[in-house]
A and B are shown apart, each in its own frame.
Chain A
Amino acid sequence: MTDTTTANTTPPLKRALIFLLSHRAAGLFLFILLLLGIVSVVNPAFLEVQNLKDIAVQAAPVCIISCGLMLVLVSGEIDISVGSMMGLLAACMGAMVSESRGHLPPGTAIVLTLGIGVVIGLLNGWLVAYAGVPSIIVTLGMLTALRGVTEIVMGGSWITDLPDGIRFLGTGAFMGVPISLWTALGVILISLWLIHRTAIGRRIYAIGSNPHAAYLAGLPIRPLKLFVFAWTGLLTGVATLVSVPQLSVVDSGIGVGLELLVVTCVVVGGTAVSGGLGNLSGVLCGVILMTMISTVLIFMKLGENATYWSRAIQGLFILGAIIADHWISRQRKS
């Protein structure tokens, strides 16, 4: 009774806003367009193909890891070790292929790097699902420990002699499109298939939205949680392989702060931290938006001090997303 009355009396503008915010991808997409509009007025060079391609290449690794992290959040857990994981995987990859160290063929190094990523992910997952350690603790510990291991692996010198086979992953292109973009596309498609077409995907959502019901329904909660962490580890490895070889030097500070960026993208993209909610299109828009911001700041020529506000902007975006979610649910209730 009350519903229909309110539905008729809510002003259309407000209804549109509610729609946009709850269908996060739509809302974000419009916001991105708005931002593009503003920047291109100030500095039309932003819209050049090369610039957009550069932004996309930068967004690719974040996108890849976000696909994994989204599922982790949907299942009701969190993973803040991805940045340190990337640092370690980069160091391992570099040490393996470097002519002065491991001198392994690129193919072997690729497989091994992905393998190490999966192993670390499995370790995370096992500690969370089977040893019952809260995921915030596990990944917090990993974040610290892996950074230390990275320093030990690097041993005080950077890797400066990456062979062309590996460099190609970062700098090469296929039909004019960089490899990292193809890989990101592939990961997105696989993730879509995983979420919408497989039982695994549905079950992950089930675990997140109502753990107790899932337990009573007999769902294999532990193996599924193990899976999402291992999957994220694998994707981190993939992201490392396509982004680190863009540069010729592998240093020990790669990936620092990455976890905050990825979590921001995923949360801004509409994924609930409590689990059970989240869609890929929203996450994609979140990734594009967050990657765009720093370049937008430069093109708006706001001066070099503007770079110092980028972290504040990240935080404000998450807060904005949270407030928006809260506002919507209140609207729904009334």
Chain B
Amino acid sequence: MKQRILNMIWQPETFLIVLLGILFAAMGRLDASFLQWEVQRALSSHVWELAIIAIPMTLIILTAGIDLSVGSVMGLSAITTGMLFQKGLPLPLACSASLLVGIFCGFLNGWFITRMKVHPLIITLATMAAYRGMAEGISHAKPVSGFPDSFTWLGQGDWFGLPVAAWVFAVMVGLVLWMMHGRAFGVGIYAIGHNETATRFSGLRVDRYLVALYTFSGFASALAAVLFVARRNTAKADAGMGMELGVITAVVIGGVSIFGGRGTLIGACLGVLLIHETREFVSWHWNRDELNLLALGILLILSVVFQKLLRHKQGSAL
């Protein structure tokens, strides 16, 4: 029993919580106005897109994969919405079309990965360039704005006190947790991450899982794109530029091992929270945007080093 409790404590998530606690305390000392609920709620609008994409990214990284194309899928979906809207299509149709685009892009990723047996890193690096390039080429880098208020409400409005996007995120997290908890789906993902070959031999349809996950990732990116276009009232090919770095940083900081098989969705959510608060606070307090880049990069590397040390502490027994 004692061992089980000790095992529970020496988890990355615990340390994440402690770190968050320390961070909040420090922020409170330095600039208390930052922690007010009104401020936090308003600032949270900046992070929901990243949070939504982080959900499938967590699952993908758990299978020892990676998806670098999420930002580009976001851009492609964004201009789909924009250009169809410009052509006069009613918005619900335009948004559905961009969701389909995202699903298709994600499916293509998954198809390549499972058929070509190439590491997801290089495939998604290629599609990252290809999808973004298509977005730039099709739209000629011209933005589309002037969306109606009924649409921008999705990104800027509130629903029962929280941004709409927050609810979307909550629903998605709930759904995924439910699908993973004690079900074959959850066990399967961890199994693939631990040992893909063994999992294949055990009869699990690994390819189907992977294609499903990457398709989900494409869908989430498209969803994030629609919310982003609504929030910023602009559809541009460079939407989501750099998003993949933020999402992967958040997920990895959240304790999900890049080698697969370890980590939890809750941990990833904590990672998103940590990234968000750090980014916003550095901006808020020091008013020096360049510090943000530095802080984020260091945070990513340090957290992984820290997790490695934790694993040594836990012992080699998995």
Contact = CB atoms under 8 A, between A and B. Distances in A.
Interface of A: 78, 127, 131-134, 136-138, 140-149, 151-152, 260, 263-264, 267, 273-274, 305, 308-316, 318-319, 322-323, 325-326
Given A141-B297, A142-B297, A147-B293, A260 B129 contact: yes
A134 B259 contact: yes
B259 A141 contact: no
B258 A136 contact: yes
Of B137, B258, B289, B301, the most chain A CB neighbours within 10 A belong to B301
Contacts of B134: 312
Interface in B250-276: 252, 258-259
Contacts of A148: 290-297
19 contacts: A127-B305, A137-B252, A137-B304, A142-B297, A144-B297, A146-B297, A148-B291, A148-B293, A149-B294, A260-B128, A273-B121, A308-B137, A308-B140, A309-B136, A311-B129, A315-B127, A315-B131, A319-B112, A323-B116
A319 B298 contact: no
Size band of the B side of the interface? 35 or more
Nearest to A145: B297
The majority secondary structure among interface residues of chain A is helix
Contacts of B300: 137, 140-141, 144
Nearest to A133: B304
Contact of B121 (A136, A305, A309, A323): A136
B256 to A, nearest CB: 11
B66 A136 contact: yes
B294 A311 contact: no
B129 A314 contact: yes
Given A133-B304, A318-B125, 20 more contacts: A132-B308, A133-B305, A134-B259, A141-B296, A141-B299, A143-B297, A148-B291, A151-B289, A267-B122, A311-B133, A313-B133, A314-B133, A315-B129, A315-B130, A315-B133, A318-B122, A322-B112, A322-B122, A326-B115, A326-B118
Contacts of A137: 252, 258, 300-301, 304
Interface in B92-113: 112
Nearest to B237: A308
B136 A308 contact: yes
| Prevailing SS type, chain B contact patch | helix
Contacts of B299: 141
A198 to B, nearest CB: 28
Contacts of A151: 289-290, 293
B245 A309 contact: no
A143 B293 CA distance: 9
A127 B127 CA distance: 28
A133 B117 contact: no
Nearest to B304: A133
Given A134-B259, A326-B117, A315 B245 contact: no
Contacts of B259: 134
A141 B292 contact: no
A141 B294 CA distance: 9
Contacts of A142: 297, 301
Which are the 7 A-B pairs with shortest beta-carbon distances?
A312-B133, A145-B297, A315-B130, A148-B293, A315-B129, A148-B294, A151-B290
Nearest to B115: A326
Contacts of A323: 116
Interface string B145-162: 000000000000000000
Contact of B298 (A145, A313, A316, A325): A145
B236 interface: no
A273 B119 contact: yes
B298 A322 contact: no
A319 B126 contact: yes
Contacts of B298: 141, 145
B57 interface: no
A131 B308 contact: yes
A140 B61 CA distance: 15
B89 interface: no
Contacts of B301: 127, 133, 137-138, 141-142, 145
A319 B108 CA distance: 12
B210 interface: no
Contacts of B289: 151
Nearest to A152: B290
A99 B294 CA distance: 28
A144 B136 contact: no
B19 interface: no
A188 to B, nearest CB: 24
- Among A138, A322, A325, A326, chain B packs the most CB atoms within 10 A around the CB of A322
Contacts of A273: 118-119, 121-122
A131 B296 contact: no
B125 to A, nearest CB: 7
A146 B121 CA distance: 22
B136 A311 contact: yes
B123 interface: yes
B248 interface: yes
Contact of A308 (B141, B297, B308): B141
A142 B115 CA distance: 32
B249 interface: yes
Nearest to A144: B297
Given A137-B301, A148-B297, A273-B119, A311 B132 contact: yes
A321 B300 CA distance: 31
Nearest to B127: A315
Contacts of B140: 305, 308
A138 B294 CA distance: 13
A274 B148 CA distance: 49
A152 B136 CA distance: 31
